[in-house]
Amino acid sequence: MLKLYNSDLCPFAHRARLVVSAKSIEHDRIHIDLKNMPQWYRELSPNQSVPFIQHDEKSLPESLIIMQYLDEAFPGLKLTPEDAYGRAKMRLALDAIGSKLVTAISPAFRGPDFQLPADEELWSPLEASLDADGPFWLGAQLTLADLAAYPWFERWPLLQQRTGRALNLPPRLKRWLAAVSNLPAVLKEARSTEFYLEAMAQPAAR
Ligand SMILES: N[C@@H](CCC(=O)N[C@@H](CS)C(=O)NCC(=O)O)C(=O)O
């Protein structure tokens, strides 16, 4: 049985939760308290971070690696394009999501003093990476790129509270977010803004 070590607060772990839900993968989900990480988990997980999976005798850290492994190793909905060009486009999209979205906004979750890039600077490279017809990142097929990007959008209200910046998306991103937000797996794994605000307000135990 697959074991997924998770914190609902963590956007990287959210990526793995979205894949297990989209593919209906039976698994044990183990909650890790990030504010008081247990010693046994520090010893188990090589990066001392979530997400982390164990599957039979195998184990893997790193959300993007986990997403790709789960999609390849388990049956059900395929979240990776069948053709080589589609897969190459998905890797490009994952790269843009990491370098243009996650890198740009993650520091704002950690501290109150961080300035978000201006809307144009933040969204233009992502808008350009989205398929013109949509509704998903690469077009008609839902792929790992969609599930890799979504967790940061669900947490935007936290940033809005800290920075005063509303989510002001250009058209393709707006259409993309509407489509992804309504997927059954996304709805199933969604946590409320109150959940994020309360969890972030609690002080760390260490
Ligand atoms: N590159 C990693 C990042 C994972 C990560 O940063 N996880 C955070 C929580 S969101 C974590 O576990 N940090 C360890 C800690 O808080 O001690 C991935 O993609 O999985």
Inter-residue contact 162 to 155 (CB < 8 Å): no
Which of 127, 137, 149 lies closest to 86 in space, CA to CA? 137
Q: Whose CA is nearest to atom 9 of ligand 1?
A: 10
The residues that bridge with 108 in the sheet, in sequence order, are: none
Q: What is the pLDDT of residue 159?
A: 86
Separation of alpha carbons 85 and 174, rounded Å = 25
User: Would you state the pLDDT for residue 200?
Assistant: 78
Q: Are strands 2-6 and 27-31 parallel, antiparallel or unpaired?
A: parallel
**Across-strand partners of 3?**
28, 54
Domain count, the chain: 2
Q: Which of 10, 42, 53 to mutate to test the pocket of ligand 1 (most atoms within 8 A of CB)?
A: 10
Provide the pLDDT for residue 203.
60
pLDDT for the residue 74: 98
Determine the pLDDT at residue 108: 79
Q: Is the residue at 206 inside a domain? A: no
Show which of 47, 73, 99 is a domain's final residue. Answer: 73
Check whether residue 58 and residue 110 sit in a common domain.
Answer: no
Read off the pTM: 0.96
Q: Which of 4, 9, 10, 16 is catalytic?
A: 10
Pairing of strands 58-61, 52-55: antiparallel
Which residue range is the domain that position 7 belongs to?
A: 2-73
* Cα 4 to middle of ligand 1, angstroms: 14
Burial class of 179 by CB neighbour count within 10 A (0 to 12, 13 to 18, 19+): middle
Using DSSP's 3-state secondary structure scheme, residue 27 falls into strand
One domain, residues 135 and 191? yes
Of 145, 149, 163, 151, residue with least CA distance to 189? 151
**Taking a C-beta distance cutoff of 8 angstroms, is the pair 125, 100 a contact?**
yes
pLDDT of the residue at 206: 38
How remote is the CA of residue 140 from the centroid of ligand 1, in Å?
31
Which amino acid, residue 25? I
**10 an active-site residue?**
yes
**Pocket lining for ligand 1, CB < 6 angstroms:** 10, 12, 34, 37, 48-51, 62-64
Whether residue 154 sits in one domain with residue 184: yes
31: domain CATH number is 3.40.30.10
Same domain, 27 and 127: no
pLDDT, one tens digit per residue, over 148-190 is 999 999 999 988 888 888 999 999 999 999 999 999 999 999 9
Rounded distance from Cα 153 to ligand 1 centre (Å): 17
Task: Verify that 65 and 18 share a domain, yes or no.
Answer: yes
Q: Which pair of tokens denotes residue 8? A: 């609902």
pLDDT averaged per 10 residues in sequence order, the chain, 206 residues: 97 98 98 96 95 97 98 97 98 97 86 82 96 97 98 93 90 98 98 91 58
Boundary (domain end) residue, out of 49, 73, 97: 73
**Ligand 1 mean position to 99 CA, how many Å?**
16
Residue whose CB lies within 8 A of the most ligand 1 atoms, among 7, 8, 12, 66, for a mutation test: 12
